[in-house]
Structure 1
Amino acid sequence: MTKLKISPFAPSEIPSLLPIAGFKMATAETGIKYKNRTDLWVVYGCPGTQIAGVFTKNLCPGYPVVWSKKALTVKNEGPSLLVVNSGVANVFGGQRGKDAIVEIAESCERVFDVKSKSVIFASTGVIGEALDASKIISHLPDINENLFDDGWLNGAEAIMTTDTYPKVSTASAVINGIPVKINGIAKGSGMIAPDMATMLSFIATDANLSDSVLQNLLNSNVQDTFNSITVDSDTSTSDTLLLMASCTAQHNKVNDPYDPSLDSFIKALRFVLKDLALQVVKDGEGISKFIKIKIKGALSNSSAKVIGLSIANSPLVKTAIAGEDANWGRVVMAVGKSGESAERDKLSISIGPYTIAE
């Protein structure tokens, strides 16, 4: 794989991610698509681990997405397993692609002693090629022998495709006086559009939370983070965002998403989600500009979001930004075509600190 030029918006340093009790992981070089680099990441969650997820809204989803949605509904009191590969997305790969998921899941059951139907998959890479199950299955025994608790950065590197740098984030919080940790990794640089952006992202914590609380927190905090970014307006077939809790922290299990004890945790979770979402945007393929769009005075937050995305996804607005041409008429056009209520003669447009039309 040709080494890509690192994005000009890449972070100056990569934070250290501490181990999180209850999770072990390992990577492998399977040669699915790439040579001389890792392309497989497996995460083992201790018994009692809870997992919440949100997935692509693309109507041609990958086989891993279809499988994983069902896997999250399987009642599982034993250990959990996440299998992530890069290089081949396992989308539109025919029966062989579907069979690959089943074969790998059954092998995971034998090697890791987990329920095959509870194994969660995520894949990213080329569309139209079936995943070669044998290349993953052959590495599972070695991965099981080499699981360790400090492989977050390794995982971020293994799941990269056209990414130019690994995307990681970490934060800490307190629940009922007990410290908890949150680690997150992500990948994504092309097919970037809301719901959720072309990306895979995996967030883990030791917080002791019920599955319903976990899903509620993920749903409510993804809207203005991963669901509010765009680069090329194309929605991927493989988008997967998981929030995993090992529930090993020594505080009473939280069963109410509105429990005040979660205030610190929610703030930390939002930080990690937003940090990773922005890193995905800043690594957009061929990116030379990074902008934030702020809409004021809209009828509602949802209306503001529609207008903002109309501006962000406009090819004419993008070319103006790329060419450093403050052609604000294109912004007016994008507001008008959004379909949302807007009073033309009351529009005011600013770029940075400068008001250019009012």
Structure 2
Amino acid sequence: MPVNIPPLLPEQLLPIPGLSLGTAEASIKRPGRKDILVITLAENTRVAGVFTRNRFCAAPVTVARSHLMGSLPIRALVINTGNANAGTGQSGIDHAHATCASLARLIGCQTQQVLPFSTGVIMEPLPVEKIITHLPQALANLAPDNWFAAAQAIMTTDIVPKGVSRQIQINGTTVTITGIAKGSGMIHPNMATMLGYIATDAAVTQPLLDDLVRYATDRSFNCVTVDGDTSTNDALILMATGQAGNTPITVSTDPAFISLQAAITEVAALLAQMIVRDGEGATKFITVQVESGKTREECTKVAYAIAHSPLIKTACFASDPNLGRILAAIGYAGIEDLDVNLVQLYLGNILVAEHGGRAASYREEDGQRIMQAPEITIQVKLNRGNASTTVWTCDLSYDYVKINADYRS
């Protein structure tokens, strides 16, 4: 079961003026579940996004990136689950274009004003006719308060839908931010997460929105890993309808922008953490903090060496404080001039290693107590500078193997 994710209620996800969502059941992979999501955007909505850098990126990523870089404003998004439309060659590109064209005809815009997204099994032809046939069904139930159904519609191996809303005051005006995401396995940062959609009604210029999505991603989805695999379909889209009524934000030094940036980053971080908490078969949520490094880059190297290690992740599953595995990961992280005698390692608030070995005050029972909790913090102090970073990951369990072994059955 997901680790400490409170049940999501529909009323917790606040509508964004200028944005509507509709879902449909097209039986793409199996019948009886929502597997198509359409999001429509009011005129003058600004859209920014980041995508996977996997060289085998999916056809919809190629098309969405191209449309987003075009001169026409984006008016709609169409998302399907059950099929990734990745590793499908030119036919996959053609199917993504056909999906966009069909939705464009139905809502009265140009094909280039639609962004397509897909998630699911790789190297299988997209059942494009199923999708096109069910687009009218999705449009028929468009509603601004349909975020909960939307969060359900983008799920694949996720156990629970993931969503969060926040409201802030900007110069006396209430601004709303709502986001949903999907992802459970094959999660490792490479510009974005599996699929994430965040919207706000704030008025903000396009260059600032472009900066904002990158800033938020680097502090959220680029700080998580479940299994070290980077998907072919990763995408995070940020939409600003501009209908809150605030004075348009035009400069990054404006306190209004700083407040908006902080709120959107918080929403993105919470969604990213939900993905880890719902990691396939996860039983532990693990925070890896690396502090007092020379640079953020070297801190990140150490954090991911720990977070990626299957030996550490399986030890966490077994509630085993196997300190040697953590020290080994710190040592092979790639810091050539690391003085291991300066390094301090903590499990929770317990000092477990210093001066190149086990701390004199450490007791095995203390380590076991920390490791038995559903949430574990591993803290590394390099004691060679002022930089730091935080990464979130989960354990690897028997269920992770079972889920991924049975993924196509």
Quickly name the TM-score band, shorter chain normalised.
over 0.9
Q: What SS does the aligned partner of 1:294 have?
A: strand
CA distance in 1, matches of 2:13, 2:112: 30
CA distance in 2, matches of 1:67, 1:355: 50
**Partner residue in 2 for 1:259:** 254
Who wins on radius of gyration, i.e. which is larger? 2
Where do residues 292-331 of structure 1 align in structure 2 (5 Å cutoff)?
Answer: 292-331=287-326
Tell me by how many angstroms 1:62 deviates.
0.4
Check 1:309–1:159 CA distance in 2 against 1; reply closer, same or farther (3 A cut).
same
Q: What SS does the aligned partner of 1:144 have?
A: helix
CA contact (8 A) 2:22 2:140 kept: no
CA contact (8 A) 1:197 1:229 kept: no
CA contact (8 A) 1:89 1:127 kept: yes
Tell me by how many angstroms 1:13 deviates.
4.5
**Partner residue in 1 for 2:229:** 234
Query: Deviation digits for residues 26-52 of structure 1, max 9, x if unmatched?
Result: 000011112101100000000001001
| Residues 1:274 and 2:292 are matched in the alignment | no
Matched length: 352
RMSD: 1.5
CA distance in 1, matches of 2:111, 2:7: 41
User: What letter corresponds to residue 356 of structure 1 in structure 2?
Assistant: V
CA distance in 2, matches of 1:143, 1:311: 43
CA contact (8 A) 1:178 1:249 kept: yes
**Partner residue in 1 for 2:198:** 203
CA distance in 2, matches of 1:213, 1:8: 35
Where do residues 153-164 of structure 1 align in structure 2 (5 Å cutoff)?
Answer: 153-164=148-159
CA distance in 1, matches of 2:321, 2:135: 54
Query: Deviation digits for residues 182-239 of structure 1, max 9, x if unmatched?
Result: 0000000000112256510000010001111111011112112110101101011100
User: What letter corresponds to residue 281 of structure 1 in structure 2?
Assistant: V
Tell me by how many angstroms 1:12 deviates.
4.0
Where do residues 46-125 of structure 1 align in structure 2 (5 Å cutoff)?
Answer: 46-77=42-73, 80-125=75-120
CA contact (8 A) 2:36 2:138 kept: no
Q: What SS does the aligned partner of 1:355 have?
A: strand
CA contact (8 A) 2:78 2:100 kept: no
Residue 287 of structure 1 is aligned with which of 282, 287, 297?
282
| Residues 1:176 and 2:162 are matched in the alignment | no
CA distance in 2, matches of 1:352, 1:12: 26
Q: TM (normalized to structure 2)?
A: 0.83
Q: What SS does the aligned partner of 2:291 have?
A: coil
Q: What SS does the aligned partner of 1:138 have?
A: helix
CA contact (8 A) 1:10 1:282 kept: yes
Unmatched 5+ residue regions in structure 2? 355-409
Mean CA deviation greater in 189-198 or 126-135: 189-198
User: What letter corresponds to residue 355 of structure 1 in structure 2?
Assistant: L
CA distance in 2, matches of 1:130, 1:338: 40
Q: TM (normalized to structure 1)?
A: 0.95
Query: Deviation digits for residues 65-116 of structure 1, max 9, x if unmatched?
Result: 1111111112225x61000110000001233322111111111221111220
CA contact (8 A) 2:21 2:37 kept: yes
CA contact (8 A) 2:64 2:115 kept: yes
CA distance in 2, matches of 1:17, 1:188: 18
| Residues 1:36 and 2:36 are matched in the alignment | no
CA contact (8 A) 1:174 1:265 kept: no
Percent identity over the alignment is 39
CA distance in 2, matches of 1:289, 1:50: 38
CA distance in 1, matches of 2:156, 2:351: 40
Check 1:197–1:324 CA distance in 2 against 1; reply closer, same or farther (3 A cut).
farther
**Partner residue in 1 for 2:131:** 136
**Partner residue in 1 for 2:334:** 339
User: What letter corresponds to residue 352 of structure 1 in structure 2?
Assistant: G
Q: What SS does the aligned partner of 2:131 have?
A: helix
Unmatched 5+ residue regions in structure 1? 1-5
